Amino acid sequence: QTISVSSTASHPIPTTLWGFMFEDISHSGDGGLYGELLQNRAFQLVTPGSGNALNSWSAVNGATISVIRESTPISTALPNALHVVIPTGRNGGVGFANAGFSGIAVTSGTTYTGSFFYRFPASSGFRGSATVSLQSSSGSTLGDTTVSLSGAQTSWAQVSFSIRANSTPGDLNNRFVITLDGGSAAGQTINFGLLSLFPPTFRNRQNGMRNDIASALAEVGPSFWRFPGGNNLEGGTVDQRWQWNATVGPLQNRAGRQGDWGYINTDGLGLFEYLLWCEDLGAEPIMAVWSGFALGGTSVAQNQLGPFIQQSIDQINFVIGDDSTEPGRLRASLGHPDPFKLTYVEIGNEDFFAANTYTFRWTTYANALKNAFPQLHFIATTNVNSPVLTPKPTEYDVHVYQTPTWFAQNSFFYDGFARDGTHYFEGEYAAISTNPNDIFGPPSDGRLIFPTVESAAGEAAFMTGLERNSDIVFAASYAPLLGHVTNNQWTPNLVAFDAGNVYRSTSFYVQKLFSQNRGDQYIPSTLPSSTGTVFWSVVRKTSTGQLIIKISNTGSSAARLTFNLAFNNVATSGTAQVLTGVPTSSNTPQNPNLITPQTSNISTGKSFTYNAPAVSVNVLTFGAS
Ligand SMILES: O=S(=O)(O)O[C@H]1C[C@H](O)[C@@H](O)[C@@H]1CO
């Protein structure tokens, strides 16, 4: 195949083109990116005495533990506490343990920092200490410290501690343990609440992100971060919707909420943490506001939307409001007086599920929010122009989950779109099944557990089309971003993880190859055949004078491509980064680095030939001017 490459750019490429979509799904937040190591740390939303009240907690050496509704709670947001009775006649440490989120990773030399609240429900003469430790599954102590407890403390007191691990366990099944001496503490009753333990966090942020996962995401260099959902924005009911104000301020004032993926969200990863994370990541937020529809099917009537719209205005003012606004003052009081960067606000999520009411919900929200924030862009979430919305959306969020073949055959998806001023956010896309008749089915029916080489190559083909159409596509993100390797509600995920490991997928490497090899100009070239198997896009990075050719060969045979460049000065050599392998192979916990990009030198010039291997994603980089 011969490909002519122009030397004149057709359009600039938006800086926001490649980024991430995030929501708390498959423990991507609590138990994943969010650094908290203890599961069910504040007994949020559980019913005392119910089966899951003690989820992740267990008694040690004969203590009696239970979750109670506290008569004097830590806060109205946290009404529950752990009630611990130390029996008589026990020797050694007696107390309780937390098993983390399917384990706790402990590495020697690492310092873990934590805190908990305690109070003696009845004043007692006890004056003593508790041992706070990290223990392996065999019960050996990996690190410990002691804290003083006083029986005179009948009101809640917060105790802080740090534990330096001095040995590395054999596995992840470690526990966080608090014990008192069975002799001196015999017969004591103590309530505990909001127990927290953090490893070192990304950029050492207080209440921050788990370093290994955060670092893997930062490796991609995303330019936007869509949050908080996705379904997890919406709530099963109106009251269960994500509410920004319930997610900011001291942790003891965050009640948590029933997430939309089957588990309670602590909301410890809240709006302020998301915004600081965007700054640490160098990404701008694409922030969603709840749009009056709950996943259980309730739409708020148009004349009832006022309070929800006000809540969205407050949410936006928390992000960008000045000190004339209360949310702006709240942000300043939390340590960020300057506004955060914000351009895009998405109104709802996948409202094509409730298009009949989105017509008025969109109109009411868009008019009110555009009036309040004329500088912002508001993204609609129904199908493009169906139904017709007023005011006419300037941006739409388009989602697609399909087969690798679909992606390989639809890289021209946007070529036919009218250039009418509307811009598009490909907010969720992924090849998730090899079975076109059961895309969302189980692995037994074609669903992918991990991305494969062929799914990643399909996505790359599609992405060359997004890059070509980046005059109207301003942003694109694979979804879901993160998922626990076993405790999940969705596969495949861009990045999988467990308590101590991060697993980078083939699709992760495709996102990284595109994001880390951006151009700021799109360079026209001979169009690929829309029904072919080889797809490419050519961009130029003016700051370095580099030409970057991204090629996806989704076919089962190698493709010899001859490039004829109109540029006058072209380097005679460059680099090729290639991701390829057995089409159905994946990176897995058993073989996490089976498929990684390989870099090599290539000969380039005004005319050169490159051989793209079967089922491969290739990024060629060389100087051209
Ligand atoms: O069940 S789905 O609607 O397919 O859920 C999808 C679409 C939704 O926006 C997101 O939360 C989820 C997976 O990324």
Beta carbon of 284 within 6 Å of any ligand 1 atom: no
Beta carbon of 402 within 6 Å of any ligand 1 atom: no
Q: What is the pLDDT at residue 283?
A: 98
pLDDT digits (tens, 9 = 90+) for 311-345: 999 999 999 999 999 999 999 999 999 999 999 99
Cα 177 to Cα 167, 229, 506: the distances in Å are 16, 34, 38
Q: What is the pLDDT at residue 209?
A: 98
**Residue matched to tokens 């384990």:** 103
Residue type, 216: A
Q: What is the pLDDT at residue 44?
A: 98
pLDDT digits (tens, 9 = 90+) for 564-605: 999 999 999 999 999 999 999 999 999 999 999 999 999 999
Q: How confident is the model at residue 251 (pLDDT cuts 50, 70, 90)?
A: very high
Beta carbon of 488 within 6 Å of any ligand 1 atom: no
CA–CA dist 601, 615 (Å, integer): 20
Beta carbon of 348 within 6 Å of any ligand 1 atom: no
CA–CA dist 604, 610 (Å, integer): 9
Residue bearing the CA closest to ligand 1, atom 9: 230
Q: Which helix (H) or strand (E) holds 344?
A: strand 344-347
Q: Dig out the tokens for 412 from the structure.
A: 């021209």
Angle, alpha carbons 375-381-387 (nearest 5°): 110
Average pLDDT, the chain: 98
Q: What does residue 580 show for φ and ψ, rounded to 5 degrees?
A: -155, 170
Q: Give the SS3 label for residue 461.
A: helix
Q: How confident is the model at residue 257 (pLDDT cuts 50, 70, 90)?
A: very high
Bridge partners (DSSP) of residue 514 are none
Q: What is the pLDDT at residue 375?
A: 98
Point out the ligand 1 atom lying closest to the alpha carbon of residue 353: 3
Contact 187, 140 (CB under 8 A): no
Q: Which helix (H) or strand (E) holds 459?
A: helix 453-468
Mean pLDDT calculated for residue range 214-220: 98
Q: Dig out the tokens for 158 from the structure.
A: 């917060």
Our mutation pick for probing the ligand 1 site, out of 233, 428, 488, 491, counting the most ligand atoms within 8 A of Cβ, is: 428
Q: How confident is the model at residue 367 (pLDDT cuts 50, 70, 90)?
A: very high
> What are the respective helix, strand and coil percentages of the chain, to the nearest 5?
20, 35, 45
Task: State the distance from the centre of ligand 1 to the C-alpha of 420, rounded, in angstroms.
Answer: 28
Q: What is the pLDDT at residue 104?
A: 98
CA–CA dist 474, 467 (Å, integer): 9
Q: What is the pLDDT at residue 531?
A: 93
User: Considering the chain, what percentage of its residues have pLDDT values greater than 90?
Assistant: 100
Our mutation pick for probing the ligand 1 site, out of 350, 400, 439, counting the most ligand atoms within 8 A of Cβ, is: 350
Q: How confident is the model at residue 432 (pLDDT cuts 50, 70, 90)?
A: very high
Mean pLDDT calculated for residue range 435-450: 98
Mean pLDDT calculated for residue range 484-498: 98
Contact 26, 480 (CB under 8 A): yes
Number of C-beta neighbours around residue 580 at 10 A: 22
Task: State the distance from the centre of ligand 1 to the C-alpha of 85, rounded, in angstroms.
Answer: 44
Q: Dig out the tokens for 578 from the structure.
A: 């290639």
Q: What is the pLDDT at residue 115?
A: 98
Contact 546, 540 (CB under 8 A): yes
Task: State the distance from the centre of ligand 1 to the C-alpha of 259, rounded, in angstroms.
Answer: 13
* Beta strands, E only, 446-494: 473-478, 482-484
Beta carbon of 493 within 6 Å of any ligand 1 atom: no
Q: What is the pLDDT at residue 351?
A: 98
For 85, residues 6+ apart whose C-beta sits below 8 A from its C-beta are 63, 64, 65, 188, 189
Task: State the distance from the centre of ligand 1 to the C-alpha of 231, rounded, in angstroms.
Answer: 6
What is this structure's pTM?
Answer: 0.98
Beta carbon of 494 within 6 Å of any ligand 1 atom: no
Residue bearing the CA closest to ligand 1, atom 2: 231
CA–CA dist 237, 296 (Å, integer): 6
Residue type, 313: I
Q: What is the pLDDT at residue 34?
A: 98
Beta carbon of 227 within 6 Å of any ligand 1 atom: no
Crossing angle for the helix pair 306-320 and 326-333, to the nearest 10 degrees = 40
CA–CA dist 231, 25 (Å, integer): 9
Question: SS3 for 212-243, per residue?
Answer: HHHHHHHHHCCCEEEECCCHHHCCCCHHHCCC
Give, as one character, the DSSP assignment of residue 245. G
Task: State the distance from the centre of ligand 1 to the C-alpha of 491, rounded, in angstroms.
Answer: 11
CA–CA dist 104, 122 (Å, integer): 33
CA–CA dist 31, 373 (Å, integer): 35
Q: What is the pLDDT at residue 561?
A: 98
Point out the ligand 1 atom lying closest to the alpha carbon of residue 21: 14
Mean pLDDT calculated for residue range 91-104: 98
pLDDT digits (tens, 9 = 90+) for 153-212: 999 999 999 999 999 999 999 999 999 999 999 999 999 999 999 999 999 999 999 999
